[in-house]
Structure formats: C-alpha cells, structure tokens
Structure 1
Amino acid sequence: MAQYEYIERTSPFITKGGKSLPIFAVTPAHIETGTIDPVALDWARKSGYKAETGSVLLIPTSDGHLGGALFGLGSHPAESPFLTGKLARTLPAGDWHIETAPLTANRLILGFGLGSYRFERYKSEKSDAPKLLIPQDADSNDIKRQLAGIFLARDLINTPTNDMGPEELEKAFRALADHYKAEVTVITGENLLTHNFPLVHTVGRASTEAPRLLEMRWGKKGHKKVTLVGKGVCFDTGGLDIKPSSSMALMKKDMGGAANVLGLALMIMDAKLKIDLRVIVPVVENAIAGNAFRPGDVYKSRKGLTVQIDNTDAEGRLILADALSYADEDHPDLMIDMATLTGAARVALGPDLPAFFTNDDDLAYELSEASLETDDPIWRLPLFPGYEKLLRTQIADLTNAPSGGMAGAITAALFLKRFVTNTTSWAHFDIFAWSSQERPHSPVGGEAQAIRALYRHIASLA
C-alpha cells in the first residue's frame, strides 16, 4: 500500500517483533477467576485493580523497572469497540504489544490508531508516544489506510483558516490527487461565472481569496461511477447576517464536509477500488465586504432555479446546489454529499451521530448495515415531502432559509434534493465534523464522521 503523508508522519505502530512490553487487556472476570498472567494477576490483586473501563495499571518488574501494563475493558467490552484508543494517550512512550484481549485484532489496532492522533503543528515541543505491535491476524494495510483518511480529515479541519483558506485547501486537494495520480480541474474566481457556477461565485466573492470549484477524477471508465461532493466553506462569518462571536469560534471547521470527502477519497484510491471516482468540492470563504451578497437578493443557480437569499448564513446549501447540479449531470451510480450544514441536525441527534437523508430505501439499508459493521454511527432522517412548501417564496423558485426555524435539517436536505434529478442513488450527510469531548478514540477537535461506513459500502460496490 502506498501510504499518504498524514499516516506516515505519525504512524503509531511497529510491525516487527522485538523488545516490546506486554499489555494485558482484561475484564473484571479475568481478575476474579485468575485467568491472566500470574505476575500481572498478583500485581493487580495487590493493587486492588478492578479492570474498570479504560483504566491502566503499570506493572513493575522485580527489580523496579517497567514490565508491562494492565488495561481494563470493564464488564461489557463490546460496548466500547475502540476503547484501546485510550492506551495511545496513557501508556508511557515505548514499544508495546497486546498479550491477551477479548477483542478482534482489527478493532483493537484501529482503536489504538484512532486514539494516537495528535495535532501538534503549532506546538513548539512534540510529545513522545507509545507504539503498538500489529498482530499478524490484523489487516494492517486497511487499518493504516483508514487511519490515513481520518487523520487527513482531522488535520484539515483542525488547521486554522489563516493556514487553511481556499488557496491552501486547493493545495491539499492537489497534493492528494498527485499522490494517487488523479486528474484535477480547478475553476477560480470570475471563471466560475463563465462556467456557470453562479452560486459558488456569489457566496465567495467578498473574500480576499477567490472562490473556486475543485474537481478530481480517478479510476477507469466502465466501473461504477461514484461521485463525492463536499462543502468547502473555509470560514463562515455568516456574511451580512453576521454570526455572534461565540458562534464564529469554530467556523474553521465549516469545510468539514470537504475534509471528510477527501479522507474518504484517500481510502478509495489507496485501496485501488474498481470505482470511477469523481470528487467535487466548492470552496469559498463567506466573508463581509462591499460586494458581499445581501438578504433579499435573488440569484439563478446552475440548474436554472432561482434562489432568494433570506439568510446569508445559509450559504453552504447555495454552493452545494451548484456542485450537486454539476455532479448530477454525469448520472453517477452513487452520489454522496457531506456538509457541516445545519445546527438543527445537531439538536436532533447530537454531535456524535451524523444525520443522513436519502429517498433510496435500499441505499439507506446498506449504509445502515455498513455503519453497524464498522461501528461508525449514522442515522437516517426523512426527506418529508410535506415540508417542501416551506421552501416556497413569492418572487423566486426557492428560499435558502425558510422562516420559522422548524425542521431545519430536513428543509436544508429538501433544498439540496431540488438540484439532484438524474441520480437515483443519492445521500446527503449533515455532519458536525468536530469532537467536543475527548473520547478514547477521538481527542477534542476535528473529526471524521461516517467515512469508514461509506468506505465499507463503496468497497462492496466495487
């Protein structure tokens, strides 16, 4: 496997045996019945160790050196499949191996890898970290591939906008494409109007960095056509409907849809899936200037539908409208869009459970099955046709911000649906792309959501 730089620089694994310290992953039953290494058991009992979920107990040797560690799985280890991520942040630096564990090797190693992530680009001192031996029965290439995609998404989201504006996001896009020998096309600035991407231009024209549409093609014609579309708002002030400062604090993550799409594309290309892949990312900064678009303006979209601007802070659906129309013209077999689109989705499902919308019941079932198989949670919300009327406005075909604030995630998805008319298998993912609290497999910060499940599903198509 040709590894991408994001995993190469922080690989948390060793692949060859040698001097490494043992980790005994145990439940309370192991301590009670004595079914673990006698030295570890003796130390556990003398220390009163209960093997509580995520607990770590270092084991000394007889001469006082570090001899290993006990890792508590709690009484229901299946409920925390990636608990081993905590080891990556609590064990001392050094080489380690799992001696015993009632977990599958893939879950164990993937969990450790997910938890090993550190974003230290701006730190003057880098932290030392433990490394784990990959067991022979683990699919090490695929684990590293998934981690590479996730680390890429996390890095892009975590990088502040002064270093991840439209120009820098284009550079990251090109770097990924170059690594996997994909073709790239970029339309920038006033050329967006020439090539009929008026909404992308409208949203991004007030920024000092020109708006742009990024496109990547990889794979062979004749394979299943899979198109990924990601919202790339590098920063969202809200425009003239300006956000309060508290709501602007995390807006560097408003390109989280683009970041996740790129992470997923990495997995697909690295696995050499037999897919005709297309990646489309509209990139803007929703800034404020004399030429910013205004509430009450009406603009024609690529599809020809006119949109009345009733809130300049509902900009993500505007740039996606043009991008989805463009993607839809190619009649893909599967189209996925990902966006940090609405706060309403977070109110409904919380930050850790991404909402998805589709009218394809078979696709919904397959995505839900992939979610369960990968422990990558997603939840379907309805494209309820009864709310279509909320998109109506007196002087245009659509409003970008229905009044009343009810069913915001659904009305946003219904808005996007109006721009997808040729593709029967389409799903829209409304993601948060951020981990607000530290979890074993995820530090606070940018997060990849749903892309492991999507990778599993797309691999099944191939």
Structure 2
Amino acid sequence: MDCFRDDPNQTVPLQLVDKNDYEALVEGSDPFLQNFMAHNRFEASFGQTLIIPNRDGAVEKVLLGTQGWPEDPRGWVLLGAKAGAGCSPTPALHLDDKDMEAQEQLQFYLGWGLASYRFGRYLSKEAKPKAAIYVPETVNRAALKNQLEAVFLARDLVNTPAEDMGPAELAGQAMEIAEEFGAEVQLTRGKELLEANYPAIYAVGKGSHRPPTLIDLRWGNPDHPKLSLVGKGVVFDAGGLDLKGATSMRWMKKDMGGGAITLALAKLIMAEKLPVRLRLLIPAVENAAGPEAYRPGDVIQTRKGISVEIHNTDAEGRIVMCDALAEALTESPDLLINMATLTGAARVALGQDLPGFWTQETELARALEDAADEVADPVWRMPLWRPYRKMLNSTIADISNCATGPLGGAITAALYLHEFVKPFANWIHFDVFAWRNDAQPGSPKGGEASALRAVFRFLEKRYRD
C-alpha cells in the first residue's frame, strides 16, 4: 500500500506529545521555533499535527498531539487515522515512540492505513498522494496488509452502485477471490434455485430482471474444523411491492453489506491461512417491484420445510437468509456466523458504531466480546428473548416473516432466523449497518466493514491461537 514504507531511510520522525511534553519542547526550543509553534496554535490536542521545519525550510519532524485521549476503545486506531489524514504526503515519516506495545502499534498503523481509503471508481480526478509512514519489522506487516485489504474490499463492494453490483457482479467478485486462493465456487441461478430446493431465495429474487443467485464458496482442508458463514446479499432493496419511500430507498445499495463483509472476511481467513474448512453462502438477490414480485399475504416454502406467511415484502433479507442458513447446517459445522443489514431497529438501538449480535451461547458471546476489545472493533450482545417469538405467529403458516407491530424489531428478526438454525447452538447472528452516515477518522461516509476485524480475531483465537 502506498501509505506504508518498508525502509526507514529518508524518513523524518513523528513524535507523540502531550501537554507536558509540548511545554518542555517549547522551553527547550530557540525563539524561532517557539514563535512558529505559537503562530500555528499547536496545543498537542488528540490527533493534532504540526510540521516543524529546520532553518532551511525542510521538514525536521512532525508533532502528533495525544492530549485529551478520547474515552473510546479505538483510541490508537483513531490516533493513527488522524495522523494519516493530517500529515503532509512528503516526506515519509517514522514513529518516534519506543514505548508502544505491539498491539498498540498494530492499531496505530491500521488507523493510518484506514485513513488512506478512497472510493474513486467514478471520480474523474486522481486521488491526492497520501502521507506515508515506515512500518517497523516489529509489526506483523502481512497481517496489517491483509486486514486493510479486507476492510477496503467490503467498503468498495458496499459503495458500488447497484447498477454495477447486481447478483452476477457480486458472484463475479466471489469467483475472483476464489481463484486467488484456490477455493471452489458453485453458483445456483434463477429457476435452478427451485430445482435445488431454495424456494425462499427464488421467491424474493424473481421480481427482478436480474436472476437471483446463491453463491457457495468452499476452501480449506476438509479435515479442519468446519466454519460456515452466511451473508445477506440483497444488492438493492426497493422494498418489493411494499415499496419503500424515496428517503428510505436512497442508500439501499448497501443492503448487500452482510454479503460484502462475509466475503471480505472469507478473503481474510484465506489470506491468513486460518486452519478451517470454510464455507461461505451468499444469497444474492434484488428485491424489486416487478410483475413477478412476491406479494404481501403470500405463503412461501423454505428449504427447511417451514412455511412463511409474507406480512411485508420489505422484510426480505431474513427470507433469503433462512434458506442459506438451513443449507449451511447440513454439513454440521463447528460454528455458524451470519451477517445481514437486517433491521433499522438495530440501528435505532445501537447507532452506527456498534454492530449488534445475538447468540444463545454465553461462552461464544464472551469470547467474541474479548476479541473485539483486543482489536478495538466494538460489538454489542443483544438478547434472543424467546417470549417475543409469539409476535411472529401466523394463522395460516408456520411463521410470519415479521411482527405486526413496531416493537422489538431487531429481536424478532433474530428470532425468525433462529427458527431455521435451532437446535444448533454454535450460531452467531450479526445485524450490521455496514455504513456510516457521517465520517470519522479512518471511516469516511459510506460503506463500512462492521465487525469484520472483531470476528476475525475471534476466529483466530478459536482456531489458531
């Protein structure tokens, strides 16, 4: 990546300073530098940068403030991102701090790399050069690169407009990644889904002129523990016949965010050679209001044999997911994780920073939370509150695809999916936003790889550490 250097030569120091460090620095400087720093109003506040010139006007060093450290577990990531965004692109820098722990270093350089992200596919102007920094050998450079590439892949997929990211294009991305790592991909398209007994996926996708597609990727040694991932791949969600309003529909290119994140996670697993037998299933569909679209009041069949009454065609993600989840369990995996941009209710409850997850296994939840803390990628456990299951009752089918009332929407969505995985216990469901409405250091507005690093660290600790 252009923002990193492997050679410390011809770099200048990047010095971390708090208020006390800065005051000592000012006292020990000549009048020229004292006046220069005062004129630039440098106060050593968190993430503030100041380029210090020498007498010839060349850069002598760069100061990076740490005063007022935020109450945020992502502190080192945010500091690195602020530095990467705020420093001049020339010359390259090296971090002048030998007291940082290994994990702090990795998070700092990760933040620096995240700040270099730019989705420029449709922009006519070339990107401006980014500031570069030397990454010392004490940092696992390969792991750093692999994590950043995975995050960038997820962001790119979500940011791509639906006209260029339909079911076929998402499948193409999966095939490219599979070829890179020697994985196998099977695609089931259109009416083939009915022949292969994926009726729910077909029911949602048949309303679009773009055929629904089930992406099925396999990789790894068959003797290793089986890990199954399922990602919601609704490439655009118009709401079906329960058509969304303009405001709600505007950003629905992001409704394949769960599929994007699980595909990026699969790439990271393969790049890091995690000792698992991986299977990734992404039901890729467009939820359109076409002449073949499924209707409110329809009763559809599912792969597991559970009949579903359609209360609202805009609750389509859980419908396509349930067929994929049922298939994932046929191989009796050690662990099943699904990710989906499933409900607005989860965003109302947790906002855009905290991906919510559900599991009935407390040990899994604790291990995931510990891993998330380690890598400063927060997640939040939500309740799988069984008494709410009655809110999904139907008088003419085994279950309704959503509750009739607005309360507990994220929980009832999780309970719907739970019907298709029980009695299997080692299941984790993520309801992710996969998006940012506003930018923060290292995370521009747009697509985001919600919980990707947390989940990977959890898997790494479970299967490799």
Q: Scaled by the length of structure 1, what TM-score is found?
A: 0.94
> Residues 278 and 93 (structure 1 numbering): CA distance in 2 closer, same or farther, change over 3 Å?
same
Q: Secondary structure at the match of 1:283?
A: strand
Amino acid at match of 1:116: S
Amino acid at match of 1:105: Q
After superposition, the C-alpha distances for 1:23-53 in whole angstroms (9 at most, x for unaligned) are 2222222113449996897454564421112
> Residues 280 and 33 (structure 1 numbering): CA distance in 2 closer, same or farther, change over 3 Å?
same
Match in the other structure for 1:135 = 136
Match in the other structure for 2:53 = 60
Match in the other structure for 1:97 = 94
Instruction: State the alpha-carbon separation in 1 of the partners of residues 440 and 291 from structure 2.
Output: 43
After TM superposition, list the pairs within 5 Å mapping 1:24-103 onto structure 2: 24-34=15-25, 42=34, 43-44=36-37, 47-76=40-69, 79=72, 80-82=75-77, 83-94=79-90, 95-100=92-97, 103=100
Amino acid at match of 2:3: P
Amino acid at match of 1:327: A
Amino acid at match of 2:124: S
Instruction: State the alpha-carbon separation in 1 of the partners of residues 42 and 88 from structure 2.
Output: 19
Amino acid at match of 2:7: K
Instruction: State the alpha-carbon separation in 2 of the partners of residues 204 and 48 from structure 1.
Output: 57
After TM superposition, list the pairs within 5 Å mapping 1:54-453 onto structure 2: 54-76=47-69, 79=72, 80-82=75-77, 83-94=79-90, 95-100=92-97, 103=100, 104-127=104-127, 128-421=129-422, 423-453=424-454
Instruction: State the alpha-carbon separation in 1 of the partners of residues 20 and 332 from structure 2.
Output: 55
Amino acid at match of 1:418: E
Q: Secondary structure at the match of 2:234?
A: strand
Instruction: State the alpha-carbon separation in 1 of the partners of residues 177 and 28 from structure 2.
Output: 46
Instruction: State the alpha-carbon separation in 2 of the partners of residues 294 and 359 from structure 1.
Output: 33
By how many angstroms is 1:140 displaced? 1.0
> Residues 416 and 36 (structure 1 numbering): CA distance in 2 closer, same or farther, change over 3 Å?
farther
* Consecutive aligned runs of 4 or more in structure 1 exceeding 6 Å deviation: none
8 Å Cα contact 1:357/1:380 also seen in 2:
yes
Amino acid at match of 2:253: K
8 Å Cα contact 2:236/2:255 also seen in 1:
yes
Q: Secondary structure at the match of 1:25?
A: strand
Q: Secondary structure at the match of 2:174?
A: helix
8 Å Cα contact 2:85/2:112 also seen in 1:
no
Point out the more displaced range, 67-76 or 303-312: 67-76
Instruction: State the alpha-carbon separation in 1 of the partners of residues 81 and 339 from structure 2.
Output: 26
- Could you list the runs of 5+ residues in structure 2 that have no partner in the other structure? none
After superposition, the C-alpha distances for 1:278-303 in whole angstroms (9 at most, x for unaligned) are 10000000011111000000001110
| Length, aligned pairs only | 453
Instruction: State the alpha-carbon separation in 2 of the partners of residues 35 and 368 from structure 1.
Output: 43
Instruction: State the alpha-carbon separation in 1 of the partners of residues 271 and 233 from structure 2.
Output: 23
Instruction: State the alpha-carbon separation in 2 of the partners of residues 298 and 182 from structure 1.
Output: 37
- Could you list the runs of 5+ residues in structure 1 that have no partner in the other structure? 1-9
Point out the more displaced range, 320-329 or 68-77: 68-77
By how many angstroms is 1:423 displaced? 2.8
By how many angstroms is 1:175 displaced? 0.6
- Residue identity over aligned pairs, in percent, reads 43
Root mean square deviation of aligned Cα: 1.8
Instruction: State the alpha-carbon separation in 2 of the partners of residues 108 and 69 from structure 1.
Output: 16
By how many angstroms is 1:368 displaced? 0.7
> Residues 21 and 408 (structure 1 numbering): CA distance in 2 closer, same or farther, change over 3 Å?
same
By how many angstroms is 1:132 displaced? 1.3
